Chains A and B, each alone.
Chain A
């Protein structure tokens, strides 16, 4: 039984917009340091500061995947199995926090695996890897939608 999962926590007040996290992430995801759409974590300007867009390991995507390519590992982290993935990007479309990402030209999506590379890369200490109970993040959203009397 998976009880906890590590997620990335963002401290907006510390972020200075270096984007080193994105570069570090794209090293993990694609072996380059272009950041941007090659990164799972995205830093966006908002209200004069910055905010983070990233997977919170809620697992909603597991429910929309038609080929069960998305799984929650024993560590609690949700991952994409590219052997099974058929590239429909339903997970990208349905992710409520835009945490499932697609890079240009790519058949498969990519996402945060809570490896902590971004945390280590941030010179300001704006990112933190924290362990939280699964029950705090897990969502089974769609089932609750639609008609019901």
Chain B
């Protein structure tokens, strides 16, 4: 390929229909592909037999050891398929088999697994192209699973592999190229390419495309991280999908848990997958009519209802900003508040005008939720690409919410933040949540300009936020950047060790559980979401139990029992998407017109049936909605068991910071005084006279005691419902019921953990139950 064909400056053109012209993004760079390629030295090569996918499974796992330069196939056994289904189920199983419990994120033994799933790669239904990845997270030191769209997972499967297992560490920057067209895997040095993702994924898309055509570029998928991933715990993986209308290599992100940090620590610069071609039969569905008709029905729902429901097709998940603001759930100033007078400046109506409309914005073919919005022709104001015109992928709700959390009420700064986080390989959620915490500490004087190495990190200072990102990406070695780029948990330890502030205040305000930063919802008034966050296997990310909407907006789980049951059902149901390779949004971000009149509207029963139909149509055997839950419950419990194995699967690891449960400071209390006073009267039983004599500090203390008590009771109910001990360990009895009778090592490990808890007196309820209180179970040894 000649370099001329990459001279985008000459070919920059106006495209688009009915929406006015725009300049394509990422268009003003010239890449010398021949020079880049000249640096590639093949370190290892492996030829595999090309085989078609059978009923959703490739039947093989690709194992690559970067230390030994070993590439081999691991056959997928029917036992593993039956018990783990696919997706992150395979990643967890392979990790259990190939790694020890003491492995830390930067040990060569750490496994980074990228997985598809049996439904992954289907084109006839929306949202079927997710990549589900697992690794030991630098933030939590347990397994973090993360999911992203883009084309990599389906292309991996169509090349011949259900999963890619990466272990070991390379000695120099390398890339792994999976060539599904030639049946070959190579490990190649890649010294000259850019590291930052928006350029690297473009370079590699052009380099590995079979020919110079839009169609050929669509058949290449690149996974990359960035300079920020190298220098922080917030590393993400960017998974590319070439957009032929914009002529831009776009990206979706494995955001949470530092997967990109592990990626760069392994000296991986990129993964590239290339296929020859595919269509709706490549996943080999047994009954194409069944899946296609289900897909058409669902896509027509999107056509007819999306504009009346969530506007996903025009503004993506950003539609949530105004709803969250209206319901006091939009995180503002490090979750101190849930709404803000300036919030309308970042409502989705503002982003609607910036997103290029009328382009199919699915991150996998055939997805008509099409929420991957993009701003084209955005001119950067800061950093190494200052003045350049780029395409910004997103922002999604979480990124906009992150802006609110940092008190940045400006569309352009949020776009700039979004762009640099993506290309540097930084998680917008962890980055924003952590910065919001640092800003609050700055406001209290616990941090200051000197302690922040010259950064004035006060709320709303967007320029300082961007400067912080640039300094992380540049590998700045100053003390603050070194600690701050490792996240809230490390910063809490740092501030406390330095003696710069009240340890309780610091612990209460920093929004992390298990070491991972919270995503962007205020859950002070939502007991269900408090549990949804703090009980989540990987740490406080909403994808496992996004209950805030049904709890606070739709009021679908009003009672304590409803909430406990929701915390059983929804994490399991939501996990199902991660084992089959799907996106969750087509399940609940569009609902049938008659959904509200069904028995269980929160579950969206018709869509659950759709998924059973699709899975039956692909596998060629009847699958019921209950079967989907059973598949998922196995993997859900396996992951918790692995948390126990790695030392973070007990009640102590599931306790949220108080900021997520109630007002930490007097200012917060006073800002919602009527609400909290009423709760003290109605829920705690304090008389009006008594209340008027209480100081605000006392009121905060009493409310806090009440809320932690409620939380512990909820945890009791949920653990019991899940078949776990009162200290949160999945019981061997439960694991056997789920079908893991032959997994002796796992059962023994769990039994030992339970015995240890017994010896320490930890197998007791967390809540205090008086007379008349309902205990989750009368049998004190129910788990045996």
Q: A: which residues have CB within 8 A of B? A: 63-68, 84-90, 92-94, 102, 104-108, 140, 142-143, 145-149
Contact = CB atoms under 8 A, between A and B. Distances in A.
Nearest to A69: B215
Contact of B311 (A84, A107, A146): A146
Nearest to A64: B360
Given A64-B368, A67-B365, A89-B124, A142 B349 contact: no
Interface string B204-216: 0000000000110
A84 B123 CA distance: 13
Contact of A102 (B292, B352, B357): B292
8 contacts: A64-B360, A64-B368, A66-B360, A88-B123, A88-B124, A107-B281, A140-B18, A142-B358
Given A86-B123, A146-B315, A66 B18 contact: no
B348 interface: yes
Contacts of B311: 146-147
Interface string B285-298: 00011001001101
B318 to A, nearest CB: 10
Between B289, B292, B302, B348, the greatest number of chain A beta carbons within 10 A of the residue's beta carbon is seen for B292
A116 B137 CA distance: 63
Contacts of B215: 67, 84
A92 B296 CA distance: 7
B307 A68 contact: no
Contacts of B500: none
B307 A90 contact: no
A74 B238 CA distance: 39
A90 B360 CA distance: 10
A107 B314 contact: no
Interface of B: 17-19, 123-124, 214-215, 218, 244-245, 278-281, 288-289, 292, 295-296, 298-300, 302-303, 306-307, 311, 313-315, 319, 348-349, 352, 357-360, 362, 365-366, 368
Given A147-B315, A147-B319, 11 more contacts: A67-B218, A86-B279, A87-B292, A88-B280, A89-B295, A93-B299, A102-B296, A105-B289, A107-B288, A142-B358, A143-B358
Contacts of A145: 307, 313-314
A149 B349 contact: yes
Between A64, A90, A148, the greatest number of chain B beta carbons within 10 A of the residue's beta carbon is seen for A90
A89 B296 contact: yes
Contacts of B17: 63, 140, 143
Nearest to A95: B303
Given A68-B214, A92-B296, A93-B368, A147 B314 contact: yes
A148 B307 CA distance: 11
Contacts of B366: 66, 86, 88-90
A94 B19 contact: no
A86 B278 contact: yes
Contacts of B19: 143
Contacts of A89: 124, 280, 292, 295-296, 299, 366
Nearest to B314: A146
8 closest Cβ pairs, A-B complex: A88-B366, A87-B280, A146-B314, A93-B299, A143-B358, A140-B18, A88-B123, A145-B307
A106 B280 CA distance: 10
B295 A104 contact: no
Contact of B358 (A87, A105, A108, A140): A140
A63 B359 CA distance: 6
B307 A87 contact: no
Contacts of A68: 214, 244-245
B280 A107 contact: yes
Between B280, B307, B311, the greatest number of chain A beta carbons within 10 A of the residue's beta carbon is seen for B280
A86 B365 contact: yes
Contacts of B280: 86-89, 107
Nearest to B125: A88
A64 B359 CA distance: 7
A102 B296 CA distance: 10
Contacts of B214: 68
A3 B382 CA distance: 46
A79 B350 CA distance: 36
A142 B296 CA distance: 17
A90 B368 contact: yes
A93 B303 contact: yes
B255 to A, nearest CB: 23
Contacts of A140: 17-18, 358
A130 B507 CA distance: 75
A142 B313 contact: yes
Nearest to A108: B279
A67 B242 CA distance: 10
Between A65, A85, A107, the greatest number of chain B beta carbons within 10 A of the residue's beta carbon is seen for A107
Given A93-B368, A94-B368, A143 B357 contact: yes
B360 A93 contact: no
Between B244, B281, B366, the greatest number of chain A beta carbons within 10 A of the residue's beta carbon is seen for B366
Contacts of B18: 140, 143
Contacts of B288: 105-107
A14 B349 CA distance: 50
A102 B300 CA distance: 14
A48 B271 CA distance: 62
A90 B365 CA distance: 9
Given A107-B279, A140-B18, A148 B352 contact: yes
A108 B124 CA distance: 11
B294 to A, nearest CB: 11
A65 B360 contact: yes
A10 B214 CA distance: 39
Nearest to A94: B303
Contacts of B244: 67-68
Contacts of A94: 299-300, 303, 368
A66 B279 contact: no
A147 B348 contact: yes
Nearest to A63: B358
Nearest to A87: B280
A92 B281 CA distance: 17
A63 to B, nearest CB: 6
Contacts of B303: 93-94
A88 B245 contact: no
B620 to A, nearest CB: 15
B360 A63 contact: yes
Contacts of B313: 142, 145-146
A104 B296 CA distance: 13
A110 to B, nearest CB: 14
Contacts of A66: 360, 362, 365-366
Between A86, A107, A108, the greatest number of chain B beta carbons within 10 A of the residue's beta carbon is seen for A86
Contacts of B307: 145-146
B17 to A, nearest CB: 5
A104 B292 CA distance: 9
A94 to B, nearest CB: 5
Contacts of A63: 17, 358-360
